[in-house]
Structure 1
């Protein structure tokens, strides 16, 4: 059975453009546990007359931006966009979360006429000890 660690956000944000009904909703921060699966919830919207072409999550490190989960093509093995693009779903699933996954993530999508990046980013925080694992004694 796949176990998911739900990611709870302390601060919620809405990234909304008033022109043309474009937007992305992501939490400002999310939390996961080392060794478990983690989720960063996400929804997005765009004008109905356009067609969705691409969804992707970007990982911002100190030195570069990496595409970790494109909707098409190769993704890094542990990163997957779950949910249907046509239903405006863009939740990021990170399998077997590691301490190195504690980074800043950003969602981007493209339609047949334009592209949009979330203005807000999500900082993922990882706890070092999964449920049942004991902290080492001093």
Structure 2
């Protein structure tokens, strides 16, 4: 029983990817270098939905490969990167982009670094004042 449990536990990650071949442009660059540069620039700004910390350009996940192929196909068809980004954000939400929009919901995200730096400066100033006196 223990051996069966161990085998199933080890096999679970291996079953995460399908046995289907990768999409046509998942690992193949576009023939037009200008279009490939546009596609790569866009892919570096899009987050892999399963890796969480990597862009789709850097990830080896099957989902990232599918997203790379989708970006390349749409660029090859003449679609602008901004339109592709908007479509992906509409489909997967703002989380797919490394540059979330500035809106009331994300104001704390944008303001937090400034507030933390200001609080740190204020604390340091008070700390140095106490040592002088």
Superposition TM-score tier, normalisation by shorter sequence = under 0.3
Question: What's the TM-score once normalised by structure 1's chain length?
Answer: 0.22
Higher relative contact order structure (alpha carbons within 8 Å, sequence separation ≥ 6):
1
Structure with higher helix content? 2
Question: What's the TM-score once normalised by structure 2's chain length?
Answer: 0.23
Structure with higher strand content? 1
